[in-house]
Structure formats: structure tokens, C-alpha cells
């Protein structure tokens, strides 16, 4: 089984990257492929190697925490790899963990592909199984309160946090202000930090 790959991003699409590892191109499906687009240097991508009867698929993540959380999501009945990937694309790992542990169904049902019954199963199956994920964060400060999400965790209110993360990737204030002007009217309360980052990176990558 492949645990991680280290190489250069040779190509990317909206749902995957092609990672060149010593001359071999691996197609890796990611929650946010554009996260890897900025670096000209080799990157490490943590892998979940998924084997089924008709395909062998690689799913990749920027951290061990995302990798572990993805695997936990697959343990929930009704959640397959594509839905789990969409969940991670729709919210930060620590926010998702907090929502599950606090039984925040209102937040969970805003995630792509998640209805009320699946959200309830996520809470039932995972609430007491995420302490080992290793996020090392104070989840009470992660933007969630019992039963509801704060404005800063969703929609346009998540942009300041997304902007800071993008600045850490090397983008300038002017570049980020320009893309926000383009995308702000389409932002909704269902957009978390990762969703806004992905949309902004798409625009930045296009120039």
C-alpha cells in the first residue's frame, strides 16, 4: 500500500493532480488540488490507496490529519471516497471534527452529499473515535458552538482566515483582494475556509 508520495506537480485539474515521482506520473484525487499548485518544489502528498474491483484509485492530502480523517469518514455507512473527499473540500478538518463531537447537525448537513440521516450516522459512528486523529487543536475555539456555527466559520466571514492561509502560500495582498472582488458575490453561508481557498486558487492559477 502507498502511504505517501513525494514529487513535483506535473499537471492539475479541478479534482486531481498528477504527481511526477521519478518519471512516473500518479493521478491523485485531492480535496483541494490547487493547494499544491503554488509550489515549484517537490511536495509530499499523504495517500489513501483505494482498491475496488474495477479501479485502483489514489486519494491525496496535505497532512496526516486529513488522511486519518478521510479514513475515518469511510467507516461511516453511506460515505464512499468521493463523498468523503467532498466533505474535506467543504470544511477544515478541525472544524469538521468539532462539528461531529458537538453533534452539530446544522453544520454537517451543509456539507456536499450529506443529508440529515448521514449526518446523524457520522455523529453516532465517529463522535468518540476522533480524539486520536491528532489535530492538536482547541476545538472549542474552532468557530463552532453547540448546535450552531458562528458567522466566521461560514460564507464570506471565512474569507479573512482563507486569505491569511493563501498569503502563507506566497500570494500578495493585491492578488487576493482582486480575486475576492471577483468571487465575493457568489460566496454563500455554505462556503467554509477550504471552499473559499479552492475557488480563489482556481482564479489565481488562471492568472
Grid cell of 125 as nine digits? 459512528
Q: Do 161 and 91 form a contact (C-beta atoms < 8 A)? A: no
What is the predicted pLDDT for the residue at 139?
A: 43
pLDDT tens column, 4-57: 999 999 998 888 999 999 999 999 999 888 888 766 789 999 999 999 888 899
Q: Give the predicted TM-score (pTM) of the model.
A: 0.69
CA distance 77 to 122: 8
pLDDT tens column, 84-96: 998 888 777 888 8
Distances in Å between the alpha carbon of 156 and those of 94, 161, 167, 186, 190?
A: 19, 10, 17, 9, 9
Amino acid at each position: 500500500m502507498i502511504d505517501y508520495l513525494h514529487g513535483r506537480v506535473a499537471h492539475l485539474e479541478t479534482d486531481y493532480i498528477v504527481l511526477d515521482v521519478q518519471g512516473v506520473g500518479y493521478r491523485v484525487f485531492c480535496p483541494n488540488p490547487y493547494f499544491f499548485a503554488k509550489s515549484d518544489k517537490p511536495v509530499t502528498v499523504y495517500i489513501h490507496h483505494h482498491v475496488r474491483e474495477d479501479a485502483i484509485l489514489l486519494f491525496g492530502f496535505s497532512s496526516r490529519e486529513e488522511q486519518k480523517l478521510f479514513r475515518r469518514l469511510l467507516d461511516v455507512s453511506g460515505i464512499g471516497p468521493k463523498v468523503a473527499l467532498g466533505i474535506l473540500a467543504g470544511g477544515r478538518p478541525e472544524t469538521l471534527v468539532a462539528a461531529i463531537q458537538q453533534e452539530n447537525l446544522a453544520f454537517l448537513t451543509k456539507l456536499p452529499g450529506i443529508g440529515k440521516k448521514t449526518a446523524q450516522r457520522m455523529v453516532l459512528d465517529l463522535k468518540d473515535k476522533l480524539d486520536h486523529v491528532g489535530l492538536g487543536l482547541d476545538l472549542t475555539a474552532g468557530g463552532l458552538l453547540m448546535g450552531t456555527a458562528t458567522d466566521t466559520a461560514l460564507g464570506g466571514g471565512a474569507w479573512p482566515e482563507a486569505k491569511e492561509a493563501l498569503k502563507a502560500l506566497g500570494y500578495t495582498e493585491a492578488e487576493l483582494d482582486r480575486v475576492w472582488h471577483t468571487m465575493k458575490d457568489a460566496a454563500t453561508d455554505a462556503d467554509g475556509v477550504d471552499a473559499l481557498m479552492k475557488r480563489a486558487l482556481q482564479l489565481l492559477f488562471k492568472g
